[in-house]
Structure 1
Amino acid sequence: MKRSEIESLAKDIFHEIGNIGGGSAVTALSRLISEEITGRPPVVMPLECSKLPDAFGEPDKSAMGILLPFYGDVSGMLLFVLTEPFVKELLLKTIGCPAGFHEMDEYKFSVIQEIANIMASSYFTAISAYTEKQIHISQPAVSIDMLGAMVTDPASWIMGLGEDTVCIESGFYLKEDNSMNHLGLMLYQESSYQFLEAVGVVL
């Protein structure tokens, strides 16, 4: 198989991984808050720090980031990027107390962390079933920062360990609030290869 054919096939496989994982995560959130969540098809891209932030929104705007390192048969980082209106709605629907970024406290952060844990568990359970890879997630870290910084920092770390790194980005939003939120699976180079080999692609 030609290199170009392998790259095309690899993109299709990563796209399917994003569909399966992202769909499961969005479904889990929808069930948790008893509201319709609309997801859009994933975008597969190389980890390029100069271009990546634009895929997650406006780099110079504040956002909430939840970063979950994962490990096991494959490893990397799962990054949630949430808008302020979306966070307010999540807190309203889960604890009845909407809060903007400047009103967050330890309890509200813990609620968002737990929501991220539930979504991440659904994401990885689904793709583990698809690839037969065992995946474990670490405790999420939550921060509020400029979007550009929260995306490029983990991407830079992963890129430093290999050139063939991949990001699978999925978007989702509440029916009554169309501000786009993002979920990005950032894969280490070796893990990208392992996912492909798991579904029969010989590199």
Structure 2
Amino acid sequence: MKRSEIDILSKDAFQEIGNIGSGSAVTALSHLISEEIIARQPQVIPLECDRLPEAFGKIDESAMGILLPFYGDISGMLLFVLTEPFVRELLMKTIGCPANFREMDEYKLSVIQEITNIMASSYFTAISAYMHKQIHISQPAVSIDMLGAMVTDPASWIMGLGHDTVCIENGFYLKEDSNMNHLGLMLYQESTCQLLQAVGVTL
């Protein structure tokens, strides 16, 4: 499967999967914090693209990343990239104790981790039902770092196992706050093919 074939034949299929997964994840978060969450249309980005980190925000700004490996009938990594204002609002709305990145402790990190676990579970439940595939989530890794490194490191690792793969990136934000946050589904090469076949795209 060539890169051009991925672009031409399957962009709509990837976008539909992104819409289904992110729609479910954002709805779960909205119910959890009783606030409206706005989600924008997904982007389908080749992992080899030099501009991949820019799709997740300003590469030289600090952000919180939560990386969740997943496995099963398809495998890869789900990456959340959250801004400091958004994290502060999540903590305020869930435990009544807002904090900036310098004030994060183990308890506050565990709260954010649990929130993203709920969103990830909703994301994969929705796309599993759509594709009739079993997907399991591994324990998340949480970090606060420069956004560029946070996105490039897992993408580079996946690219080392095969170049013909993509990232399905979705942006979302609180209705009262315009700071864009992101989640990106990064697929292993073999899973890229399996996912497309599952939704009826012939390669």
TM range (shorter): over 0.9
The alignment-based identity, stated in percent, is 82
1:174 equivalent in structure 2: 174
Which structure 2 residue ranges, 5 or more long, are not aligned?
none
2:8, 2:45 → 1: CA distance? 12
Superposition map of 1:10-159 within 5 A: 10-48=10-48, 50-159=50-159
Structure 2: distance between partners of 1:50 and 1:39: 25
How far off its partner does 1:125 sit? 0.3
* CA RMSD of superposed structures (Å): 1.3
Q: What are the Cα deviations for residues 33-55 of structure 1, in whole angstroms up to 9, with x where unaligned? A: 00000000000010026211100
2: CA distance, partners of 1:5 / 1:193: 11
Number of residue-to-residue matches in the alignment: 201
| Aligned-residue offset at 1:116 | 0.5
What's the offset of the Cα at 1:163?
1.2
Aligned-residue offset at 1:27: 0.4
Judged with a 3 Å threshold, the aligned counterparts in structure 2 of structure 1 residues 82 and 185 are, in CA distance, closer, same or farther, namely: same
What is the TM-score of this pair, normalised by structure 1? 0.96
Change in Cα spacing, 1:148 to 1:121, as seen in structure 2 (3 Å) is same
Shift of 1:30: 0.2
The amino acid across from 1:131 in the alignment is: M
Q: How does 1:160-171 map to 2 (within 5 A)?
A: 160-171=160-171
Post-superposition offset of 1:136: 0.3
CA distance, structure 2, for counterparts of residue 7 and residue 45 of structure 1? 9
Moved over 4 A (4+): 3-6
Question: How far off its partner does 1:5 sit?
Answer: 7.0
Contact 2:33 2:93 in 1 (8 A): yes
